[in-house]
Structure 1
Amino acid sequence: MAFPLQRGITPPEIEFLSEMELVTVVPRQRLEGLELLSGPTERLLPPQRATLPLWLAILLKRQRRVNIVPPHWLHPECLQIVLQFETETNEYTDAFSPPPRLPGQPRPGGDNRRQPTTTLPRPKYTLDGERYYPTPPFLPQNTALATSETSETDKEIALPYHWLEVGNMLLDAASDDLTEPDQIRRLLKDLREVRMSKMRKGVDVLDTAAVGGGGVSLTGVGAMEIGEMRGFVAGVVEGLRKIGASREQARREQLAEEGPTQGYTQDDDDDMEF
């Protein structure tokens, strides 16, 4: 007998989707562009940097044809800043650090007149000519920005949507290209534990969310975190709904047994007769 499929997307499927994230590579050999289903890739010409999907970059890395440039957020200093932000900031004690800005989204609380060129919205077109704007994993949230493209003040320290998957895959396949991989692995583990504990604390508000009185804020939560907690949260909400339905049914049965005249006094009967 076959086992029933798990509801929602599974963690292996989330990891498979994250392999479409774009990363920056430094080629070591010349390679012509490839025609892929997601579109043509850039021509690799050493030592010029290029942007490739993560799965292709890992494949070429294992063949020793490229070196992968880690994204800005995957450096130990940036991860330490995010970890301190998650644990020490009063505003985000029970919330999550803000996600990266979307293309064209202004910087909150800053001067919006000058934006780096990498954040401008770049629409793409389907085969039918329809325009659309890409979303993760088709956003350059894991590419390494060149010094000429952005300054230090424009570099944004934020965890992207597939931060956990991309970080673990780069640690496994390209640890020699990362700065202090052991410290990065430790910081990723600490971040995961802190953020998962915050999600478990959010179970307290699920009682209200189950009856339609509120919801759980998931702003800044990553794809793998949602996938791992989906089954637990869905089970808790379903259980709370059943408990609420049984309580409502018991209350209705109690009202039916008491009858419509329950609670009336003799004075009420005299007023009705008058």
Structure 2
Amino acid sequence: MAEDEWVTILPSFNHPTMHFISGDIGPFEVSIPINVPLWLAITLKKRKMCNIKPPSWMTTENIRSLVQREKSLEGFQQLPSLHLMEISFEILKYASEDLIASNEKDIDELRVAIEDLFYIRNHKIRNGFVTLGTEDISLSSIKLNGIQSMELNNIRPIFTETLQVLAEFDKHIDSTFQAKKF
């Protein structure tokens, strides 16, 4: 899950190591960078107890580069994080001022670049479903390499139903072929 991805924060408080089910985190010292799960970073940010250092890939320049590469590929490129979309949206929602502090000049431009990347990839997914219905494709040839977990969650209901229909169709074709064989 995206909330379990680790990000760097700059705490504005001192605190000994915190003990969680998932493990120990800390100690926390004012302005000393520390890696924490995104969920903790967001919780601390909401309480004004830290600044979040955005991941190195989260710049307008880097995202625009990903957009251009995505446009040029037929399939999906491997993105710098499996949860790029969710992490980006969370940081933009709760810590956009921290992006400015990290020299990101135009938050709106970054947001648009991320949305462009999301749109292009979703367009490829939709076109892939159209292709499933029009081309001679077997179930074993469907590949989702490089797809984000958020994208997979968005298509899961449709994809599951489509795969069931294709499996039934394959069974019907196989039984028809076997019947004609004898």
TM-score band, normalised by shorter chain: 0.7 to 0.9
| Secondary structure class of the residue paired with 2:137 | helix
Name the one with the larger helix percent: 2
Q: 2:89 aligns with which of 129, 145, 168?
A: 168
Larger Rg: 1
After TM superposition, give the deviation of residue 245 of structure 1 in Å: 2.9
Q: 2:13 aligns with which of 29, 48, 56?
A: 29
Distance in structure 1 (CA, Å) of the matches to 2:144 and 2:175: 32
Distance in structure 1 (CA, Å) of the matches to 2:174 and 2:37: 53
Q: Which residue number corresponds to residue 138 of structure 2?
A: 209
In the superposition, the TM-score normalised over structure 2's length comes to 0.85
- The residue type equivalent to 2:116 in the other structure is D
After TM superposition, give the deviation of residue 27 of structure 1 in Å: 1.3
After TM superposition, give the deviation of residue 250 of structure 1 in Å: 4.7
After TM superposition, give the deviation of residue 76 of structure 1 in Å: 0.7
Give the unaligned 5+ runs of structure 1: 1-16, 100-157, 261-274
Q: Does 1:227 align with 2:153?
A: yes
1:251-270 matches, cutoff 5 A: 255=180
After TM superposition, give the deviation of residue 251 of structure 1 in Å: 5.3
After TM superposition, give the deviation of residue 246 of structure 1 in Å: 3.2
Q: 2:59 aligns with which of 75, 78, 83?
A: 75
| Secondary structure class of the residue paired with 1:26 | strand
| Secondary structure class of the residue paired with 1:229 | helix
Q: Which residue number corresponds to residue 84 of structure 1?
A: 68
After TM superposition, give the deviation of residue 61 of structure 1 in Å: 0.7
Q: Does 1:218 align with 2:112?
A: no
Aligned length: 174
After TM superposition, give the deviation of residue 70 of structure 1 in Å: 0.4
In the superposition, the TM-score normalised over structure 1's length comes to 0.58
1:1-274 matches, cutoff 5 A: 17-87=1-71, 89=72, 92=73, 94-99=74-79, 158=80, 160-178=81-99, 179=104, 180-203=106-129, 204-205=131-132, 208-210=137-139, 214-250=140-176, 255=180
Answer yes or no: is the 8 Å Cα contact 1:202–1:216 preserved in 2: no
